[in-house]
Amino acid sequence: MNFPRSSQTALATLHRPNPATWVLELKNGPDNRLTDVMCQQVIPPALDVVEKEWREARRKALEADHPPKGAGGGALIIVGRLDQDKFFSNGFDFDQVLSTPGMGFVYNNFVPILIRLLTFPIPTIAALNGHAFAAGFMLTLACDYRLMTSGKAWACMNEVHFGAPFPRSFAAIMQEKVRSPAVIRSIALEGHRFSPKEALQAGIVDQLVDGGSKALFEKALVFAQTITPNASTGVWGLIKKEMYGTTIAKVAEDYRQVMPFEEDAIAKAKL
């Protein structure tokens, strides 16, 4: 199934390699920029399809006289395009962000996706088959698990280098998913490019996989099978809502960002 549904050009493809696993392959150009179209017409409707199909399968499994243990489970893998090994996602189209009235791009387009992933009812696995920068990195942090290629790839929040303030939603998720103050400082204030080995040591990713996109994808499929049964009881998302309740509230309160030139103008007026 291709997205957007109304377009002949697929920016993402959703498929179901087995009854309990869905795969969302991002295909927006060479580096998978998270544009307004991706955030409105691709990722949310794809998540709708996954949730609807999983819930229907789970209801059917529960109606069986003697359902096997784990029946009705499921997991979602999100991966960069599989015909390359360079990018998972290179983040937002920054010019598009700047051109959005009231600087509301993050709140209107991306925050709903972050909340959806933080509360998604089945396990979500980000397969980093290349670089994950800025919002692309944040997309992976909103997932439950992260598997990363051991090859040439970086995980990085480089806003400090190109002059973009952190949205509250980004800070809240980082504080939830990355508990070390030193690592958070390195990510947010230094814009450090974490190699796969560094990302694993820092607890940012859960596993490294040798080989390119195909090897990583195959490993993600195997990993998914180990956790799909945990969604069968229907409480996976409910537990996450309680676990991440404070973080979800902060993410939902995201507000207009103050840009550097505005902050400087305010300081100039005061000083």
Mean pLDDT of 259-266: 78
Given this model, what pLDDT does residue 256 score?
Answer: 66
Task: Dig out the tokens for 167 from the structure.
Answer: 């949205």
**Angle between the N-to-C axes of helices 111-118 and 168-177, in degrees from 0 to 180, rounded to the nearest 10:** 20
Given this model, what pLDDT does residue 68 score?
Answer: 78
Mean pLDDT of 69-90: 95
Q: Is residue 215 helix, strand or coil? A: helix
Q: Is the model's pLDDT at 70 over the cut of 80?
A: no
Q: Position of tokens 């998914």?
A: 224
CA dihedral sign, ordered 108, 43, 126, 68: positive
Q: Would you say the pTM of this structure is higher than 0.85?
A: yes
Distance CA 62, CA 67 (A): 7
Q: How far apart are the first and last CA of the chain?
A: 57
More confident residue, 228 or 164: 228
Nearest to 208 by CA among 263, 127, 147: 147
Which spans in 25-74 are helix H? 36-37, 43-63
Query: What would the pLDDT profile of 158-212 be if each residue is shown by its tens digit?
Result: 999 988 888 899 999 999 999 899 999 999 999 999 999 999 999 999 999 999 9
Mean pLDDT of 56-80: 90
CA 133, 179, 231 angle in degrees (round to 5)?
80
Name the percent of the chain in helix, strand, coil, to the closest 5: 50, 15, 35
Mean pLDDT of 18-27: 97
Burial-class residue 80 by CB neighbours within 10 Å (0-12, 13-18, 19+).
buried
Given this model, what pLDDT does residue 102 score?
Answer: 58
Quote the strand ranges of the chain, DSSP E: 2-3, 12-18, 21-26, 75-80, 87-89, 124-128, 131-133, 145-149, 155-156, 207-209
Question: Exposed e or buried b for every residue in 241-251, given b needs 16+ CB within 10 A?
Answer: eeebeebbebb
Query: What would the pLDDT profile of 101-122 be if each residue is shown by its tens digit?
Result: 655 889 889 999 999 999 999 9
Cis peptide leading into residue 4 (ω within 30°): yes
